[in-house]
Structure 1
Amino acid sequence: MSAKRTVQSISPAVLRGLTEEGRAPRLLDVRTPAEFRTAHISGAYNVPLHTLREHRAELLSHLDEEVVLVCRSGQRAKEAEQALAEAGLPNLRVLEGGMNAWETAGAPVNRGPERWDMERQVRLVAGSIVLTTGLVGILVPGVHLVGTAVGAGLTYAALSNSCAMGVLLSKLPYNRGPRTDISTVIAGLRATA
């Protein structure tokens, strides 16, 4: 049985200091393109987690310096760190608390069109299903069980730190945004090397 690796992290304050001093590490934002367009750290490259996993070998040769991985809260960035570390990339860190912590610290962000974050969308859809099935269940016996199933799914999502509803919602056109072109990302990494 192998020992669990410790994920190295960097605080928003330290990253902001490095950025302001002109010593910013490479920033890979592993959120969806829509999330990235809403708000991101200046100079970050958007490489969604699924794209990073698929193209990590191609990215490897262009990430020879320190890399900081960014997502909304830190969870997807940890998954990206594991994928890149398994591929042999050293010098990886995860932004502690992700964009949530970065923005809470008052650090600067590039803003685009406002969108609801995925957690808020999940709360809206899950709450609407539970409310609707609860009300319809007054007239139609058994419909309330749909709401019970949603509640079970949310409980599992919390325990497993995954969310099937979030994955499904992320596939909607509203949440996809423009597709990340890996060759454009690599060209950008090459140009700033």
Structure 2
Amino acid sequence: MTNPAITALQPADLKERLANDEKIMVIDVRTPAEFETVHIKGAYNVPLSMLSEHTKEFAGRFADGAVLVCQSGARAEQARERLAAVGLETTTILAGGTDAYEKAGGDVVRGNQRWDMNRQVRMGAGSLVLAGFVGSRVVSRPVGFLSAAVGAGLVWSAVSNSCMMATVLSKAPWNKASVNPTLEATVRNIPTATGSVTVS
């Protein structure tokens, strides 16, 4: 009986392998602003939106293997699935994302501090639900439908594994990075060959 393929690398394992100078390509698929706030030392930023539009171009750069990273693992898994769809099977995801890596004692780089997107979405959704409830009591009962709309949006977010509120919030002024990477600059910064990444 064969064991199923392991598709996640544990944070402590990545920390140890990087400490041993293994040539592991770490690709962070969060937004440039999230990457600027905190990222794994030595990681390259390839936002999921960019990778989604140019999957084949990046697949050629990751042919020797890569560890895909995001905040918690969901976007990294989406990136892995997109790369697998164009024939690249040598990528894995970092279990628990950047937070788990830092908690495991991994080396991270910090920049301009801002709330992570998950926290911003919780604040936004909670505020809208509260506003809908209070508005239905103070202003007019139909304002309560705002709470229902947010609830429906959260259900759809879970079913589709996407988040419209996060997409909207990512365009807010406080979520803009000091430098927005272009496709050309991003591709140019990623080495063409690294040591292969295997998970055991």
TM (norm. structure 2) is 0.85
With over 3 angstroms needed to count, the CA separation of the structure-2 counterparts of 1:191 and 1:91, relative to structure 1, is closer
Given residue 142 of structure 1, which amino acid in structure 2 is its aligned partner? P
With over 3 angstroms needed to count, the CA separation of the structure-2 counterparts of 1:91 and 1:164, relative to structure 1, is same
Q: Which residue of 2 aligns with 1:143?
A: 143
Q: Which residue of 2 aligns with 1:169?
A: 169
CA distance in 1, matches of 2:43, 2:186: 10
Q: Which residue of 1 aligns with 2:42?
A: 43
- RMSD (CA atoms): 2.0
3-state DSSP class of the match of 1:142? helix
Which string of whole-angstrom CA distances, capped at 9 and with x for unpartnered residues, describes residues 74-111 of structure 1?
11111111111222223211101111211221211000
CA distance in 2, matches of 1:121, 1:191: 36
Q: Extract unaligned runs of 5+ from structure 1.
A: none
Given residue 190 of structure 2, which amino acid in structure 1 is its aligned partner? L
Q: Which residue of 2 aligns with 1:184?
A: 185
Q: Extract unaligned runs of 5+ from structure 2.
A: 195-200
Shift in Å at residue 179 of structure 1?
2.0
Share of identical aligned residues, percent? 42
Which string of whole-angstrom CA distances, capped at 9 and with x for unpartnered residues, describes residues 95-131 of structure 1?
0111121122121100011111111111211221222
Q: Would the aligned equivalents of 1:28 and 1:69 in 2 still touch at CA under 8 Å? A: yes
CA distance in 2, matches of 1:6, 1:166: 31
TM (norm. structure 1) is 0.88
Which string of whole-angstrom CA distances, capped at 9 and with x for unpartnered residues, describes residues 135-163 of structure 1?
22223222111112212222332344322
Structure 1 moving runs of 4+ over 6 Å = none
Query: Any residues of structure 2 matched to 1:92-171 within 5 Å, and which?
Result: 92-139=91-138, 140-171=140-171
Structure of higher RCO (CA pairs closer than 8 Å, 6+ residues apart): 2
